[in-house]
Amino acid sequence: MNIDIPKKFRPLINNAYQVARSSLRPISRKYDRGEHEYPKELDMLASVLDGFNAGDPANSAGAATTGSGKVQNDGSVKNGANMGVCLGAMEMCYGDTGFLLAMPRQGLGNAAIAAVANDEQLERFKGKWAAMAITEPGCGSDSAAIRTTARKDGDHYVLNGEKIYVTSGSRADCVVVWASLDPKLGRAAIKSFVVDWGTPGMELARLEKKLGIRASDTAAINFVDCRVPADNLLGSPDIDTKKGFAGVMETFDNTRPLVAAMAVGCAKASLERIKELLKESITYDYSKPVDNCSAAEAEIYRMEADWEAAYWLTIKAAWMADNKKANTLEASICKAKAGRVGNAITLRCVELAGSLGYTEDELLEKWARDSKILDIFEGTQQIQQLVIARRVLGLSSRQLK
């Protein structure tokens, strides 16, 4: 892996940065206050991102094509869709994390489709905005504890259950729903289904009121005898006790680096802003030992070091995905590091700004609220540490709980 960002991504990074500064930041506070109000300004921006995604997937600017980049069998190293998406997400979240999550046709469900769907499904669901429904009232971090069922009935599956915390759940065209074909068989029977809004038996229960990312709606959805076409099951319908759950879990290998990138972008915004606010009192000198600096200056240096570690861990996990290298360990490492670092940096920047950081005169307090979810969804800190420990020690989930 070359630690220089490829030249082909520089226009993407610059364009996303300009959008973040000129389009997202100015309306950030408006939709933070107006929770559940749809950010209509995103429609035009989403059309621009569609144009990026329709071209070279390596230059994608959104989340829709995460995991769909194809690697040629010529032995060369690829910097493709996953890295492009992560770099774009970093810059977009530098503007506003909630807006990236609310972007039409750029949902985490799209990443799930790209990771698991067959060629026919990829074509059929192309252009749709897909949310992802995993969490249930009795099932949070342990995805294997899902109780939503999918019973085969002729050419359909009948879904029953309740899903909560579905990002863009009410706005998306469809929802990727995790359900069990047979709860008695445990995690091996869990599959993912694409359910279009408007399908009888699919009902919006409520929209949540949240600490942060308020521009993005978060829904609870009920499924009562909801009939879904059998060919909407992503991947193989067969229950493989060795592979079954691993199949749907491959989604996380692509989406966890994306969430890590979001945390990196949000933390970058806070770091940059606190340096601007303290520029009159601090002269930055990176040649000095940290022990010889003022407390505030030393704290900024430490945060920058942590930020850079999170950044490169994220890039590495994305690079591995582009090159079809097993990256479950690296995806969890970057998510754990970036989630924790992003939350710590945004909160510390609020403190360093004093009373100004605690008011709505600055976006620092908003970024601190937004960053918390990035340490929670797509697997909490504790879940990432479990995954990392299992991989490092060579233990199964049954052996290490």
SS3 at position 149? strand
Q: Where are the domains of the chain?
A: 7-113, 129-234, 246-393
Count of H-run helices and E-run strands, the chain: 12, 7
Contact in structure between 49 and 61 (CB atoms under 8 Å): yes
- CA–CA separation, 193 vs 151, rounded Å? 12
Residue 255, Cβ density class (10 Å: 0-12 exposed, 13-18 middle, ≥19 buried):
buried
Query: 115 or 199: which carries more pLDDT confidence?
Result: 199
Q: Report pLDDT for 62.
A: 46
Q: Report pLDDT for 68.
A: 47
Q: Report pLDDT for 58.
A: 44
Q: Report pLDDT for 193.
A: 97
The yes-or-no verdict on residue 226 having pLDDT over 60 is: yes
Architecture, CATH, for domain 129-234: Beta Barrel (2.40)
What is the arithmetic mean of pLDDT over 265-281? 97
The yes-or-no verdict on residue 337 having pLDDT over 50 is: yes
Query: 296 or 240: which carries more pLDDT confidence?
Result: 296
Residues above pLDDT 70, as percent of the chain: 91
SS3 at position 276? helix
Largest CA distance in the chain: 73
Residue 361's Cβ-side half-sphere holds a number of Cα atoms within 13 Å equal to 8
Write out the CATH class of domain 7-113: mainly alpha
Q: What is the mean pLDDT of the chain?
A: 90
Residue 33, both tokens: 């206050």
250 is annotated as an active-site residue: no
- CA–CA separation, 127 vs 265, rounded Å? 26
- CA–CA separation, 81 vs 70, rounded Å? 9
The yes-or-no verdict on residue 57 having pLDDT over 60 is: no
The yes-or-no verdict on residue 75 having pLDDT over 70 is: no
3-state helix, strand, coil in the chain (%, to 5): 50, 15, 35
Name the one residue in this structure whose structure tokens are 């019973």.
Answer: 151
Helix segments in 9-118, DSSP class H: 10-19, 25-33, 42-54, 81-95, 97-102, 108-116
**Closest residue by Cα to residue 202 from 155, 232, 145, 161:** 161
pLDDT band for 138, please (50, 70, 90 cuts).
Answer: confident
The yes-or-no verdict on residue 20 having pLDDT over 70 is: yes
Least confident interval from 18-27, 240-249, 250-259, 308-317: 240-249
Write out the CATH class of domain 246-393: mainly alpha
List the Cα angle 84/11/316 in 5-degree steps. 30
- CA–CA separation, 176 vs 42, rounded Å? 22
Of 136, 362, 365, 378, catalytic: 378
**Closest residue by Cα to residue 313 from 331, 293, 289:** 331
Contact in structure between 134 and 146 (CB atoms under 8 Å): yes
Residue 197 parent element (H or E): none
